[in-house]
């Protein structure tokens, strides 16, 4: 069934004139479902092995708010603490070479740990290689799943999950300084952009809470 396009929201980035766009909750749910259908639709082992890496990369992006380049550098033998439910991510700071090599520890849901563990139990030969994907190939798969989910083309890129996770955490009451650490922002002013919401969304939030 083709899912109809849903309205997306945006927040203005200061001094840039550009909008930071992110997914609504229904859009995010539709995208997760599209990826899961695609993965579950692989019945033969070789196809499940291949698709599973894209599925896990997608989930890691969704729950960490990390950049694609950061997730693709994750070593599943060293970076993942299954007991603690954390992933250690490299922090890519392209404009500050002195900060290269910096990492951050990001807590993730049990769901993600379980998915990674199940995949590695089924395909132990993939240990150490789960996230070693070509970024261009991942973007193509992402676009295909987003299209199936009815996501507008302007939102059909992996970085939208970073913006979406930031908004999700702030709405849940996570302190902005914690969000800053999780996203790997060097400056709090970068994270604070996500605190600014559009008038359109403000109206929606107030209406949902019975305030207007």
In the chain, what are the domains?
17-206 (1.10.443.10)
| 98 exposure class (CB count in 10 Å sphere: 0-12, 13-18, 19+) | exposed
Predicted confidence (pLDDT) per residue in 59-113, tens digit: 999 999 999 999 999 999 999 999 999 999 999 865 555 556 689 999 999 999 9
CA dihedral of 188, 158, 52, 47, whole degrees rounded to 10 = -170
Predicted confidence (pLDDT) per residue in 159-179, tens digit: 999 999 998 988 888 888 888
**Measured between alpha carbons, how far is 104 from 92 in angstroms, rounded to an integer?**
10
Tokens of 52: 């599973």
CA dihedral of 119, 123, 126, 132, whole degrees rounded to 10 = -40
Maximum Cα interatomic distance, the chain, rounded to a whole number of Å:
56
- pTM over 0.75? The answer is yes
Tokens of 76: 């599943």
């Amino acid at each position: 069934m083709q899912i109809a396009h849903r309205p997306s929201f945006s927040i203005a980035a200061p001094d840039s004139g550009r909008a930071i766009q992110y997914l609504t909750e229904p859009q995010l749910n539709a995208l997760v479902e599209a990826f899961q259908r695609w993965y579950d639709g692989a019945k033969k082992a070789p196809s499940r092995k291949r698709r599973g890496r894209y599925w896990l990369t997608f989930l890691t992006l969704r729950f960490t708010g990390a950049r694609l380049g950061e997730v693709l550098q994750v070593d599943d033998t060293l970076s993942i603490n299954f007991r603690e439910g954390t992933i250690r991510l490299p922090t890519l700071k392209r404009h500050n070479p002195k900060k290269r090599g910096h990492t951050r520890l990001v807590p993730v849901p049990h769901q993600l740990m379980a998915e990674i563990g199940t995949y590695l139990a089924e395909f132990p030969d993939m240990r150490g290689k789960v996230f070693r994907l070509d970024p261009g190939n991942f973007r193509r798969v992402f676009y295909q799943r987003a299209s199936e989910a009815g996501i507008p083309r302007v939102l059909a890129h992996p970085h939208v999950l970073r913006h979406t996770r930031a908004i999700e955490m702030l709405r849940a009451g996570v302190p902005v300084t914690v969000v800053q650490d999780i996203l790997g922002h060097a400056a709090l002013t970068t994270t604070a952009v996500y605190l600014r919401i559009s008038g359109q969304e403000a109206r929606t939030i107030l209406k949902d809470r019975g305030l207007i």
